[in-house]
Homo-oligomer: A and B are copies of this chain.
């Protein structure tokens, strides 16, 4: 007969304790398969507990399949397989790769934390929570996102990017990475995707993780080379025409037209225009997007608020050509939008109330000042004659050429020894060039103002021994 004590139940209910005791006896083999259990009434009497406790415990064991019942005969222990032990369990050496910590990193494109308008965001978020119609806020939405946000983005694009789109063409996603995943599912995994070389390394990683064929196309001074594009058999071309990453090339209107022409030659050719930091041209007007001159529904336009607000916002959007919008809802309309409605409504109001515009203007000044400070600091430095800056007005990074005979790798290691993370243009190539670029990529945006000059001091110290005319 089963005998259990109910003294030390660790806060569990009587029935739960009993259920666990019996289950333990079954899994440990103390109770045998097909062994008959005492009737509920008998067990309750013997343990001095209520019948309902035994009933509940037996019901749970029955439900989970530890016991079975034969009508009018009673309860029996179910036959269980002894859980086999794997012969070789893969060894795990480290749970999660640790990130190296530097005094400053010029290789990360990020946003300075102190600039985010916390108070405004908090106020709008409260507003969303307290005033929004609860139904809109909590009920599931379309795969494309909340209408209010899409309207706000369409208005913003019209005003600041001279792009005329219908809110229905806009698809919201939790980051551009999600949107790339959706695009592959939309346009097809059998397509060949062409990428800029050099280019943003994560982009290729995402396409490869999605098992699509990629081609890396070389650049000439006007952007992606037309010759290699035509020879590539690519169907989809992914480019950053307003500010190529990392070279900083602005694609001139003639090359844009050539590329649109290329896309027109076949029905399933498309161009993905990644407009990642268009807001932050530091002089003159922003470069108008390719999307604006596309009359043939060939351009998928992508932009993100991670760059304008903060990377951890995870709100991006794409503008699909009208006919692809329809295909999107046919093929992928079952997806739920990946951004929470709280944040979508709050961002909609942030844009509608003019805060986004003000924030961007403020940030442009902030970056402009930072960039000017850096330029003059480099110009006044003891290494000035060995440096040449390129593309300092076109966005949140620029290229710095250094006169040296040392290899990029050598220089990079020297910087690392000074606790500075810096990458060279040559590191962004898929087809690694044999020559050394001596071109440092300077992502300055995310380095806090108070660290900025100290970071350059360390960089100068690191490079000084290698300076050569």
Interface set of A (CB-CB < 8 Å, partner B): 16, 19, 56, 59-60, 63-66, 78-81, 83-86, 89-97, 110-111, 113-114, 116, 118, 121-122, 125-126, 129-130, 134-135, 137-142, 144, 166, 168-169, 174-175, 177-178, 181, 185, 189, 201-202, 205-206, 209-211, 222, 250-258, 260-261, 264, 284-285, 287-288, 293, 295-297, 310-315, 322-323, 325-326, 329-343
Contact = CB atoms under 8 A, between A and B. Distances in A.
A77 to B, nearest CB: 11
B86 A332 contact: no
A134 B118 CA distance: 10
Contact of A95 (B91, B189, B254, B322): B322
Given A81-B261, A166-B95, A338-B338, A64 B296 contact: no
A79 B65 CA distance: 79
A224 to B, nearest CB: 14
Contacts of A80: 253-254, 257
B287 A63 contact: yes
A97 B329 contact: yes
A257 to B, nearest CB: 4
Nearest to A327: B90
Contacts of A189: 211
14 contacts: A65-B251, A65-B252, A78-B253, A79-B254, A84-B261, A96-B144, A116-B138, A122-B130, A139-B311, A174-B174, A177-B338, A206-B334, A209-B332, A314-B336
A338 B178 contact: yes
Contacts of A311: 138-140, 336
B166 A185 contact: no
Nearest to A333: B97
Given A122-B129, A139-B311, A211-B211, 4 more contacts: A78-B252, A96-B168, A174-B314, A177-B336
Given A85-B295, A313-B340, A333-B97, A60 B284 contact: yes
Nearest to A321: B90
A113 B95 contact: no
A408 to B, nearest CB: 22
B130 A312 contact: no
B64 A288 contact: yes
Contacts of A312: 137-141, 340-342
* Nearest 8 CB-CB pairings of A with B: A65-B252, A90-B323, A86-B296, A312-B341, A174-B338, A95-B168, A122-B129, A65-B253
Given A177-B336, A296-B86, A340-B314, A285 B253 contact: no
A168 B86 CA distance: 22
B85 A114 contact: no
A275 to B, nearest CB: 14
A212 to B, nearest CB: 10
A343 B331 CA distance: 29
B174 A285 contact: no
Contact of A140 (B97, B110, B264): B110
Contacts of A297: 86, 89-90
Contacts of A139: 110, 113, 311-312
Given A78-B254, A129-B122, A284-B63, A260 B336 contact: no
A192 to B, nearest CB: 15
A165 to B, nearest CB: 12
A262 to B, nearest CB: 11
